[in-house]
Amino acid sequence: MLVERRRIVFILSVIFFIAFVGVLDSDVYGAKKTPPGKVKIKSASQTKIPIYKYGESGEVVRYIIKQSVQLKWKHVKNADGYVVYRKYKKGKYKAIKNIKLKEAKAAGSILKCTTPQVKKGKYYFKIAAYKLYAGKKYYGKKSSAKGTYVKPKKAIKRWNIGCGSKSTIYGSAKAKKNVKATLYNNGELIISGKGNAQYARGYVEDDNYYDGMPWYYRYYNVSIDKVTIKKGVAPKSIDGWFYDLCKLKKTPKYRQA
């Protein structure tokens, strides 16, 4: 008798699960019927950060440009969330964002998602809706692929900061060309070249100025949020190089000489 009851409960559970998945497929978004609404892309959405001329706060000399890609699509009835997939050039699609819906939204309402950290080249995006049941996600069909091209970054400023194997006496010598610092319009500073650059202090050729790291006194310190030290520079120390970069999110890594 007990065995029969368990068998009946099991059969009813299976029937309920199949019925639920059937409702998922037909009523929510369906494997074939209703993927998320047509995805629209706002290509290379830009945020401009002004750089002011030294000593004249009212004059803007140029802008740091942050690029991102904004996606828009229509909300699907009863969906609990979405997964955004991204592919770079001819690579494979990877899930880059899980969007949970905290509040109920009307079917057809517009949802937005901004994906930062893009570099130059072609990107493709797909979006899939999902429904939660018993702690698991059940996915619908992915949207059709949507592509956009992101423009490459551009160099807006260069400095010679190399000092050879010996540190330059503070403010007394012209910076050598063996190590260079290049600032790009996306806020990235790249240190490249060969040889030790122990302190990298000295005369800055284009600014005619003798006081420390050049990006400090030209207001570039409020624009730089990423620093990359290329292999080959091999500084003995970077103490004081980037201490005043108020928007730097992560200390740059380097190979100690």
Residues 145 and 159 in one domain: no
In a domain, 211, yes or no: yes
Which of 150, 172, 187 marks a domain boundary? 150
Residues 128 and 201 in one domain: no
**What is the rounded distance in angstroms from the CA atom of residue 8 to the CA atom of residue 49?**
67
- What angle (nearest 5°) sits at the alpha carbon of residue 135, between those of residues 131 and 140? 25
AA letter at 212: G
Strands (DSSP E) found in 54-120: 56-74, 81-88, 94-100, 110-115
Cα 21 to the chain's mean position, in Å?
Answer: 36
Which of 91, 121, 150 marks a domain boundary? 150
Number of domains in the chain: 2
Domain that holds residue 81: 41-150
Bridge partners of 81? 100, 130
pLDDT above 90: percentage of residues in the chain: 2
Q: Is-contact 256 232, C-beta < 8 A?
A: no
**pLDDT given for residue 70 in this prediction:** 79
Which of 109, 133, 150 marks a domain boundary? 150
Residues 46 and 130 in one domain: yes
End-to-end C-alpha distance for the chain, whole angstroms: 80
**pLDDT given for residue 13 in this prediction:** 36
pTM reported for the whole predicted model: 0.54
In a domain, 227, yes or no: yes
**What is the rounded distance in angstroms from the CA atom of residue 161 to the CA atom of residue 178?**
8
Per-residue pLDDT of 239-254, as tens digits, reads 667 777 777 878 787 7
Residues 62 and 111 in one domain: yes
